Amino acid sequence: MHHSIRKKLALVPLALVLLVPAARGGESDALPPAVGNANAQLLSQFFAQGGASPAVLEYRRKLAEYQAIRGAFDQEAAAYWSQVSEKRKGRNAKRRSGQQITLDDYVLEQPPVYTGPKRPVNPEPEETPERPPRKPLPVVSDLLRAAQDLYQFTPQRPTSEAEFKRAYARYALASGLTREQAVRVYSFETGGTGNYDVQAGIEHGGKRAISTAMGYNQLLTTNSVELLAEQGHEFIRALSDKVARTSGPARQSLEHKLVVLKKMVAHAKSVPDTWSEHEKIGDTAQGWAMHAMVLDVDVGPMLQTHKLLTSVLFARAKGYTRPLTAAELEMMNLTGDGTGLDMVTMPQAMREQVPTSNFFQRGGYERNPVAIRHNTVAKLLAVTDARMDSNSNNAGARELAAAF
């Protein structure tokens, strides 16, 4: 028998001793009906509550109250987010058939907000399932080690931050990005101070990486794999041109880099061209080695540029020819091209009315305090612009602007 059950049963005789009059022998040993009924009722309550203390009973009462209120809220919220999903499907269908999107194609109410009690704290110790240890995120040293182990390659780091910025500015301008787009997105993503090798979490005094996002436009490992798969032909062409213009030992180094780049592109293309497949590679040493190219003074600027340029080209392919503002480009950068374009193509009058919840899944929205506070498309774009305005005055942003 379980220890806790034995302990509770052991308390029952003591309860009876305290409740039962002393026995006098013979017939008088029988309990009076009133006493017997009271004992039976107390024992019933004892077993029903498991011999719980007043604190535990109060916890159970509060828990039941919380569960009822929270359950009702979750039903309301589920209905709201189901409507958001259905509206999104409807907009996608209308776009495919060339129909105009109107306000009726969005949920115009803000999502329900839970205002009930918090889940009470159990006064009794509870068994918590053991969580598997969190897999450590790779940092620069891990990326460099993977590149050396798998490709016998070490990225060519710039001699200075200014050198990387100049290389980025040259390639970005030649590819069709504007100075405003590049500088303002950099200001938003890095606070206007980030170096070419800045990693999310390891900045402004941070000690622990919170993601693999790295560089001016904060590429994830999956971004690097995907860009090598989809834009690798362009990277190879550009690097081949540089090899042809170079001589001596520098050319030998570039030729080796070109060989490695071709191998990486081939590996990235070896799986179906989907985010999920690229994410699988990105979570391996091979993906880390590919991500190390973000640090290279030749290939890194190409990766940073195409992280943004793919959104510009996506908008053009969908018939949106007006130049994207930096804030609009950032929305596509953050939310994905399809979702971002949904916001970008919206007239200003609609932006003022459409809640940001229309562009999120429930879990992502509830973890995004910026989208919750700035809860319409117009407000979200405005706060993005304001942050860009402020951060563009920082030293790194001014240096990048000068590089253009």
Nearest to 91 by CA among 324, 336, 349, 338: 338
Question: pLDDT at position 53, please?
Answer: 85
Distances (CA, A) of 249 to 93, 119, 133, 240, 297: 56, 67, 46, 16, 17
The 10 Å Cβ neighbour count of residue 67 is 11
R_g over Cα of the chain: 31
Q: Using 70 as the pLDDT threshold, list the residues of the chain that sit under it.
A: 1-51
**Nearest Cα residue to 294 out of 167, 137, 182:** 167
Distance CA 402, CA 136 (A): 37
* Beta-bridge mates of residue 355: 376
**Nearest partner of 145 among 159, 137, 131, 155, judged by Cα:** 155
pLDDT value for 29: 46
Question: CA dist 68 to 75, 80, 126, Å?
Answer: 11, 19, 22
**Distance separating alpha carbons of residues 316 and 337, to the nearest angstrom:** 11
Tell me the pLDDT tens digit for each residue of 212-256.
999 999 999 999 999 999 999 999 999 999 999 999 999 999 999
Distances (CA, A) of 385 to 180, 378, 380, 389, 398: 12, 11, 9, 6, 17
Residue 22's pLDDT is what?
A: 40
Write the DSSP assignment of 342-371 as a string of letters: HHHTS-HHHHTTSBGGGGS-HHHHHT-HHH
Short-list 310, 337, 332, CA closest to 384: 332
The amino acid occupying position 29 is: D
Query: Which pLDDT score, from 0 to 100, does residue 33 have?
Result: 52
Contact 151, 261 (CB under 8 A): no
Q: Bridge partners of 199? A: 202, 214
User: Residue 37: what pLDDT?
Assistant: 52
Alpha helix (H) ranges present in 245-360? 248-268, 275-282, 285-291, 299-317, 326-335, 337-344, 348-351
Q: What are phi and psi of 21, to 5 degrees?
A: -60, 155
**pLDDT the model gives residue 126:** 75
